[in-house]
Amino acid sequence: MSSASWRPTAVLCGTAMLALLAGGAQAQETEKGTVWGDLRDVTQDMLLRAEGDGNNFLHPQHNYHQTRYYPNAQINTSNVHKLRPAWIFQTDINESMEVAPIVVNGVMYVTTSFNHVYALDARTGEEIWHYKHRMGPITTYCCGPNNRGVAVAGNRVFMGTLDAKVVALDAKTGKLLWETQVGDPELGYSETMAPIVVEDKVIIGTNGGEYGIRGFVKALDAETGEILWTFHTIPDGDRHLGEWRETDPMGRSLNRDIEAEKKKYEEMKAAGRADFIWQHLGGGVWQTPAYDPETRRLYFVVGNPSPDLDGSERPGDNLYTDSLVSINVDTGEYVCHYQYIPHDVWDLDAVSPPIITTVKDKDGRDVKGVLHGGKLPYVFVHRADDCSLIRWSENMVPIENLWALPTPEGTRMLPGANGGVEWSPMAINPVLRYAYAVNLHQPMTYHVEHQPYPEGKLWLGGAFKVIPGEEQRGNVTAVNYDTGEIVWQVRTQQPMIGGVLATAGGLVFAGEGNGWFRAYDAKTGAVLWQFQMGAGVNAPPSSYTVDGRQYIVVAAGGNVQLNYKRGNDIVAFSLAE
């Protein structure tokens, strides 16, 4: 592993660029070929070919495989130092932003906290229309009122909402076409993830793993909003018990008392409470699934069990929490899974969006694989056909006292409950065969406290607490996913959260909570460019090309979870002329 060095560059300040702020037109009908760009329908063929599309950014992670690799190289290692703000748009909401901007034929769609959607001219940042969701009377959500973006298909824009709905908007006007309730917010369900669309289906998961929900992935009819199928991430009956595994993927003991768990389950059965487990076991899916058109399979990761830290009322492996899961996109039928942490009592769930790409198997042969980086500080490499684990990377943040059980007084263990990679989307460079991840190092103590199910209220079963005085930091890490070796790593002053973009120009872009947005050399990790945004850059960047000019765009809204400075800027960068 090599440690990359800083390369200082000229510092620009986002707040000094207010003269570039775009105006705010009201929602209006737009026509093909106007100054707003070509608003023709997004076809399924366009969505399928997005991986090679060097003009648009059609999916939250650029393509169905979720590689976050943009194939245009106009901005590259030789000229990135000339990158300057092309325009800045300020939203109406000064709150955490985790959105990945979507760009379709010169039109950009961005969301904010509390479910606002903006359509912008991607050339200038001028507002085309603005949709503000009319929220229901009840919203229950963990970790901030975030939204991670929209899906586009046909002439429609789709968004999940904090009051557990999916809405469809007219892409040209922002007019509401339909809305469907997919969960009960009074019981802890909410939506923050960006959905995806496959042909006639809108695919969405759910938040709520801290509230005792039963997690799901649903497919909705894109035309009508009708729910077509539901896959429950917690199987009913006793299937959630699993194999009573005693070790993690590396063979380390999880310190489980299997006999005590089995006895507890029999007691709950005798008392008529066995069904309570699967009905309230959590397992939210709150990051966008990857999709493989060849096999017509979705791949997604499932979050933590409920309650997070107290396993006494949920004996067994708690399937399919903390797992990579694959299902059939047409029917929602289960295909395969791999569970990282059976019976998790540390809230170290699997959350970052999976990536489908070609990897080396254990015999060195190229196979279709799935990458995932979650709160455990590894990049995991799986076979796509059966979800089996091929390898894992070197750990990207320190590990200490791993799988020590939480206690009422508090047990120190690393990593802390925020990870790792946490939810931040990774990116890959398929030429170098590197995966890029941003990480958090936050030492914590884990505390357990028995708490009865509170129906729709926060249900942690204890607490995880940052240790005062201990260093917190982050890093940007490049991993060779064919070997698991860390190739380079750049340490940052604060824990990192937000996501990564890689480009064919040999660059990696990522932002920090202190406002710095940086470009790294994809091969070495050297910092080639930086810009001070004035608020936390805790959202994944996107890239697009309009009229022959490539742009890099990112949101600077800060972050609730780590309490980074809030803002309301969407900033697009291009090369100085």
Interval 552-574: pLDDT, tens: 999 999 999 999 999 999 999 99
What pLDDT sits at residue 36?
A: 47
Shared-domain flag, residues 93 and 40: no
Residue 330 within a domain: no
Residues 91 and 190 reside in one and the same domain: no
Give the total number of structural domains in the chain. Answer: 2
In whole angstroms, what is the distance from residue 345 CA to residue 407 CA? 11
Q: How many CA atoms lie within 13 A of 212 on its CB side?
A: 22
Tell whether 189 and 177 lie within a shared domain.
yes
CA–CA distance, 91 with 110 (Å, rounded to integer) = 10
Could you report how far apart the first and last alpha carbons of the chain are, in Å? 37
User: Is residue 564 in a domain?
Assistant: yes
- 177 and 90 in a single domain? The answer is no
Do 153 and 94 belong to one domain?
Answer: no
**Does the residue 255 lie in any domain?**
no
* Predicted pLDDT at 419: 86
Per-residue pLDDT of 86-102, as tens digits, reads 999 999 999 999 999 99
Do residues 345 and 282 touch, judged by C-beta distance below 8 A?
no
Q: Is residue 400 part of a domain?
A: no
Instruction: Give the residue numbers spanning the domain of 507.
Output: 85-98+502-576
Q: How confident is the model at residue 24 (pLDDT cuts 50, 70, 90)?
A: very low
Amino acid at 311: G
Q: What per-residue confidence (pLDDT) applies to 29?
A: 30
Specify the pLDDT at position 110.
98
Active site residues: 347
User: Would 117 be classed as within a structural domain?
Assistant: yes
* 443 falls within a domain: no
Work out the average pLDDT over 36-54: 86
90 has which bridge partners?
Answer: 569
For residues 348 and 249, what is the distance between their CA atoms, to the nearest angstrom?
Answer: 14
Looking at the structure, do residues 91 and 114 belong to the same domain, yes or no? no
- Give counts: helices (H), strands (E), the chain: 3, 37
Spatial distance between the Cα atoms of 152 and 258, rounded to a whole number of angstroms: 47
Q: Which residue has the tokens 């393509």?
A: 63
Contact 384, 292 (CB under 8 A): yes
Strand partners, 518: 510, 530
pLDDT, tens only, 294-333: 999 999 999 999 999 999 999 999 999 999 999 999 999 9
Query: What is the average pLDDT value for the chain, to the nearest integer?
Result: 93
- Determine the pLDDT at residue 137: 84
Judged against a pLDDT cut of 50, whether residue 20 lies above it is answered with no
Going by pLDDT thresholds of 50, 70 and 90, the confidence category of residue 141 is confident
Instruction: Mark whether 89 and 136 lie in a shared domain.
Output: no
Mean pLDDT of all residues in 486-492: 98
Claim to verify: residue 89 and residue 230 sit in the same structural domain: no
pLDDT at 346 over 90: yes
pLDDT exceeds 80 at position 54: yes
- Give the closest residue to 220 by CA, choosing from 188, 170, 178, 171: 178
92 and 154 inside one domain: no
Of the residues 199, 219, 234, the one at which a domain ends: 234
Last residue of a domain, one of 234, 261, 288: 234
Which of 167, 255, 143 is CA-nearest to residue 562?
Answer: 143
What CATH number does the domain containing 91 carry?
2.40.10
- pLDDT value for 577: 84
92 and 115 assigned to the same domain: no
Chain segment 439-473, per-residue pLDDT in tens: 999 999 999 999 999 999 999 999 999 999 999 99
**Claim to verify: residue 56 and residue 89 sit in the same structural domain:** no
Q: What is the CATH number of the domain that holds 204?
A: 2.40.128.630
How far apart, in whole angstroms, are the C-alpha atoms of residue 302 and residue 215? 8
Let me know if residue 10 belongs to a domain.
Answer: no
108 lies in a domain?
yes
Q: What pLDDT, on the 0 to 100 scale, is given for residue 37? A: 52
Per-residue model confidence (pLDDT) at position 25? 32
Evaluate if residue 30 carries a pLDDT over 60: no
Instruction: Choose the final residue of a domain: 203, 234, 265.
Output: 234
One domain, residues 206 and 133: yes
Residues making up the chain, counted from first to last:
577
> 541 or 2: whose pLDDT is higher?
541
